[in-house]
Amino acid sequence: MIVYSMKTKGFVKDADRVGLSSLELDKMKQNENGSVDVYFAPNAPEGMEHKWIPTGEDLLLLFRLYCPDKPLFQKTWTLEDVEKVP
């Protein structure tokens, strides 16, 4: 998943990183069902640094799915909506 700036349509200026990859799952704490909560914010929530993508401006999210399995094409799996957390 990658974050782009709506202002520049490029990467978020001065961000340490612009996205996360499933190749980094070993660093992320997974939920019981195997999913991962990802945080988008100017600063990382405490203890969530490995699951955080820096923002700070209006953003556009892009999810790339490489070699998806049948559930995606059969529409039995869908990407959950982004939710605002307090």
Q: Which domain holds residue 62?
A: 2-73
Question: Which residue has tokens 């939920």?
Answer: 31
Q: Strand 2-5 vs strand 39-41: parallel, antiparallel, or unpaired? A: unpaired
Q: What is the pLDDT of residue 67?
A: 84
Question: Which residue has tokens 């799996």?
Answer: 77
Q: What does pTM read for this prediction?
A: 0.78
Predicted confidence pLDDT, tens digits, the chain (86 residues): 999 999 999 998 888 889 998 888 888 888 898 888 999 999 999 999 999 999 888 989 999 888 888 998 999 988 888 888 87
Number of domains in the chain: 1
Position 58 in a domain: yes
And the tokens for 63? 């999810």
Q: What is the CATH number of the domain that holds 28?
A: 2.60.120.600
